[in-house]
Structure 1
Amino acid sequence: MILPASFFETTSYFGLSVSRASLKAVSVAGNQQVIAYAQQPIVEGSGNDTAAYTASLVTALEHIKTQGNFTTPYVAVVLPETYAFSKEFSLPTGNMAEFAEGLSWQIGDLFPFAADSIYTDWKLLSQTKDKITALVVAIPQNRIDPIRNALATVKLFPVSFEPAISALSRISTLKDKQLSVLIDINQSDHSISLIEGGISLVTTTNLNHSGENNLAELVSNIQQLLIYHQDKVKAVAKQYDIIVTGDKASDAMAASLQAALSQPASMLSINAINPGFHQAFAAAASQIMPPEDTASINLLPVDLRDWYQNHHHLTLLKTTARVLTILMSIGILVALGNGIFLNSKESQLATPTPAEATINLGEYKPADIVGKANRIITLFPQKTGPQETLMIAISAVPPTVKIESFAYDETKQLWQFIGSAGTRDDILLFKANLESSGKFSQINLPIGALTTKENVDFSIEFTGKPAKL
């Protein structure tokens, strides 16, 4: 699966499901066929001892990497539903920004934990001009942090943390259904969720036993969940599908539930995959979105999210700078091919017209770019251009400043960077870094960018000193 081009770098990742007794990993190809998998036990109940639990995870993850021979260090993590707490939350506003701000102020009142001890995210359930309703999900930090630390120890990088039902509900077979009851039965616990159109509406969990041998309890829990849902929507669910998944799921269990509830029941069918690997497959095969996406749940810690954003941003700028260098070199080669000779005392190296540089990678094949660039380097080893100035400007960007685009006017040697910053002090630091480099003049930062204290959008212009020839 390919990461979305939002703030993550475009790279592949595999799915990892964490249960109370084991780790399971799956990697899929573009056609959603499994190409690698692995499974390892962990010490059940060791979560009460953080050090022992982390050590158990590290050992299991090292074996997972060896067994699966996964080719990427990035991983989408699915957590037991029993770790998660969820609550429906509404505000009388149709503005999404207002809703997000209002929710942030009330997180501490929604769950029986201190706000700074949980990771939270939410997804939209409904929106009108007067009201927004969302499902808010929280997982205690002491559930996620040991897993995160273990991943870091074995040099794996999580791109998401998500409860099991949230991951499973994004599978296409569930998205297509109007209303379904999803039962996830595992070795030592089980959960039951109502899912509609790929959205988990409400979930109940049982930590004590799997429910594998207690049909009466499963039937009772399903009926109670349906009654709760009927009271909320003021409508009776006359027909729904029962879908069973998890380590202890079986066709016999589905048949028993169908007979007891007089509703169609079946095993969750995913490419003939063992039900115990459904969660890991769901993480690997479905699109992982950043925490700010309103249609999914991603409990990725904020510092990790920001690291990915900044790393991707810097990589993108450096890649763009390298491409600009190559394209400028190609422009020189084309000019030479047309019989235009450069006088080192009277001429300047020029980018392709128009004067303001525009990059279009689709016009060149990678092999052609590399070949032409190598010839230019051989012919003109001493020539430099504005790419040197661009790299200096990039190095002046603080980590808290995000550059979204830039432009260069060859005729004026004028650069323009457009982006956003956490605070106006971050923008002033960027301006100061440009000034202290000694490579730029006429640095112009519009006063409007300094009237806002936080979450500032800005545009800054500066002139570079002429490139040496």
Structure 2
Amino acid sequence: MPAILPAFLTPKHHHFGLAISRTSLRGIEVLGGKVRATVHVPIEEGVFQDGILLDKPRFLNHLKELLVKGKFTTNYVVVCFSEIYAYTREYKMPKIDFHEVREAVSWHVKDLFPFPESDLYYDWRLLDQNEKEYTLSVVAVQRKLLDFQVAALIEAGLKPLGFQPGATAVSKLLTLKDNQYALIAEINRVGAYVTLVRGGNSLFTTVVHVAPQEAENVFFTNISQTVSEITTYYQNKGILREVAKIPVLLTGELANDAFPGKLSPYIKQPMQVLKTPLNDPGFNKAYAVAQTEISKPDDKNNINLLPPQIQMQYEQEQAQAFYKTLLIRANIVIFLICLFAIGSFVIFKFEQQQLDARVKRLRQNVESRKTSTQELLLLNSQAKNIIALDPLKKTPRDKLAVLVNLLPESITILQWAYDDSTLQFELEGIAPGRSDLILLKQKLETSEEFAKVNLPLDSFAIPENIHFKLDFTVK
């Protein structure tokens, strides 16, 4: 994928590490820097011969057993195979563009290895460079060794992302400076190999064969002799100095804390067991490839012997996955934009409704104030009319004053009533005698203010303390 694209748009693959030897399968999955799963499955005799897979059905059964026991969270895998089947050569060439190095190496593969180029999978890694030339480490393996394994891995449902020889993988576990050398001795039940490494790069590997029922001291002597031959050869070439200080790091299924003591009579150089967080040297190769970063075969800093046809297939799948991922995430972005737009619209409409409601209330308040003002003005106008008409209004107040003057002092008024509509007074009271009552009636009738005096005759039924009612109108 183009390097200019953001990392979050390109699919990432998590993988587990698988070390395949003639006698066993070892798998490790590392998540977040911690070992999540480890599994060891022995391989039956006869499944491999000289590194070539002969019995595919049995190998598939072993792979399936590994997957069942390991319960790995991914089907992507990086494979480490035995170093004894790989060939490593140092090659110097004139300095050219990096994109042309692989083609230039292909011209000399037949000179570097005892096989035609068509029979090999090979890769190179940059060891050093100066103004004039590159120093490369070229690693190759016969195609027939990997092709059968690749087919079996794919049939088992796995997706191999890389293949590395054992020493190449284990050398990545070392913390050596670029110009610092060390020897890696992998010791297994069926043999051993010794590899010279510089920094994180393997330079040369020699196999130590072990015969059936071979005595331990003979095996140790052969390992010591191999270490001596490698160091002497590179010392004579002027590459190694102070050979006695070059450390020997022990790994493999037989390596343990007791081994440096066993080998010390044979090897005088400093020795130690190469350990990982798993603390089991037999899993070092699997752990190394489980931790390795995935790189294409054309990466100048790593070795990956993945067959080119598998790489092309992955590149096609990656392109499809990339565009699928891009489409999905673009749709997510579009959805979020639409969601934001809809949310903004809803908020806008809500605010608009709130504003319209406030405007409506304000208008109602204004209208109500107009109505109140008009009512107040009307009331004020009516009040002015009332004030203007007040002097013209006729009330019983003046008539009452006249009536008080007409009443004899002996008569007591209990209550009175006045009807505006008929201008009629009604009086109710007590008179001491008939003469007092007659006197009141005569005064009212002769008054210029009143008329139509009506005094019922039954008011004279008793001679004294007469309770009476009478009515009269105002003229």
Match of 1:228 among 233, 253, 257: 233
Name 1:318's counterpart in structure 2: 324
User: Following TM superposition, by how much is the alpha carbon of 1:234 offset from its aligned partner in structure 2, in angstroms?
Assistant: 4.5
Q: Which amino acid aligns with 2:334?
A: M
- Contact 1:14 1:284 (C-alpha < 8 Å) held by counterparts: yes
Rounded Cα–Cα distance in structure 2 between residues aligned with 1:207 and 1:243: 19
- CA deviations 1:363-397 (Å, max 9, x no partner) are xxxxxxxxxxxxxxxxxxxxxxxxxxxxxxxxxxx
Change beyond 3 A, Cα 1:189–1:127: same
Query: Do structure 1's residue 293 and structure 2's residue 294 form an aligned pair?
Result: no
Rounded Cα–Cα distance in structure 1 between residues aligned with 2:292 and 2:149: 21
Query: Do structure 1's residue 181 and structure 2's residue 183 form an aligned pair?
Result: yes
Larger relative helix fraction? 2
- Contact 2:185 2:193 (C-alpha < 8 Å) held by counterparts: yes
- Contact 2:297 2:303 (C-alpha < 8 Å) held by counterparts: yes
Name 2:79's counterpart in structure 1: 77
Match of 1:219 among 221, 224, 234: 224
Name 1:104's counterpart in structure 2: 106
Change beyond 3 A, Cα 1:81–1:302: same
Name 1:140's counterpart in structure 2: 142
Name 2:47's counterpart in structure 1: 46
- CA deviations 1:304-351 (Å, max 9, x no partner) are 11111121122111221222223223333333444499xxxxxxxxxx
Rounded Cα–Cα distance in structure 2 between residues aligned with 1:124 and 1:165: 16
- Contact 2:10 2:322 (C-alpha < 8 Å) held by counterparts: no
Change beyond 3 A, Cα 1:176–1:234: closer
- Contact 1:119 1:139 (C-alpha < 8 Å) held by counterparts: yes
- CA deviations 1:147-202 (Å, max 9, x no partner) are 11111121011111110000000014456892211100111121101122111121
Q: Which amino acid aligns with 2:254?
A: K
Name 1:364's counterpart in structure 2: none
User: Following TM superposition, by how much is the alpha carbon of 1:300 offset from its aligned partner in structure 2, in angstroms?
Assistant: 0.3
Name 1:118's counterpart in structure 2: 120
Match of 2:170 among 168, 171, 176: 168
Q: Which amino acid aligns with 1:229?
A: Y
- Contact 1:82 1:207 (C-alpha < 8 Å) held by counterparts: no
What RMSD in Å do the two structures reach over aligned CA positions?
2.6
Name structure 1 gaps, 5 residues minimum. Answer: 342-469
User: Following TM superposition, by how much is the alpha carbon of 1:127 offset from its aligned partner in structure 2, in angstroms?
Assistant: 1.1
For the residue of structure 1 that corresponds to 2:317, the secondary structure is helix
Name 2:354's counterpart in structure 1: none
Superposition pairs of residues 385-464 of structure 1, within 5 angstroms = none
Normalised TM-score (structure 2): 0.66
Change beyond 3 A, Cα 1:82–1:7: farther
- Contact 2:53 2:149 (C-alpha < 8 Å) held by counterparts: no
Rounded Cα–Cα distance in structure 1 between residues aligned with 2:49 and 2:224: 31
User: Following TM superposition, by how much is the alpha carbon of 1:218 offset from its aligned partner in structure 2, in angstroms?
Assistant: 1.4
Change beyond 3 A, Cα 1:56–1:169: same
Match of 1:270 among 273, 276, 296: 276
Report percent identity of matched pairs: 32
The count of aligned residue pairs is 336
Change beyond 3 A, Cα 1:112–1:178: same
Match of 2:333 among 327, 330, 336: 327
- CA deviations 1:211-262 (Å, max 9, x no partner) are 9542222111111101111233355234111110101223333124344443
Rounded Cα–Cα distance in structure 2 between residues aligned with 1:175 and 1:78: 24
User: Following TM superposition, by how much is the alpha carbon of 1:208 offset from its aligned partner in structure 2, in angstroms?
Assistant: 4.0
- CA deviations 1:94-133 (Å, max 9, x no partner) are 4323432211222223211121111111111111121111
Match of 1:61 among 60, 63, 66: 63
Which runs of 4 or more aligned residues in structure 1 lie more than 6 Å from their structure 2 counterparts after TM superposition?
A: 5-8
Change beyond 3 A, Cα 1:212–1:95: farther
- Contact 2:122 2:141 (C-alpha < 8 Å) held by counterparts: yes
Rounded Cα–Cα distance in structure 2 between residues aligned with 1:82 and 1:8: 37
- Contact 1:84 1:137 (C-alpha < 8 Å) held by counterparts: yes
Change beyond 3 A, Cα 1:135–1:177: closer
Q: Based on CA coordinates, which of the two structures has the bigger radius of gyration?
A: 2
Normalised TM-score (structure 1): 0.66
Q: Which amino acid aligns with 1:151?
A: L
- CA deviations 1:54-92 (Å, max 9, x no partner) are 222101001001111111111110000111011111112
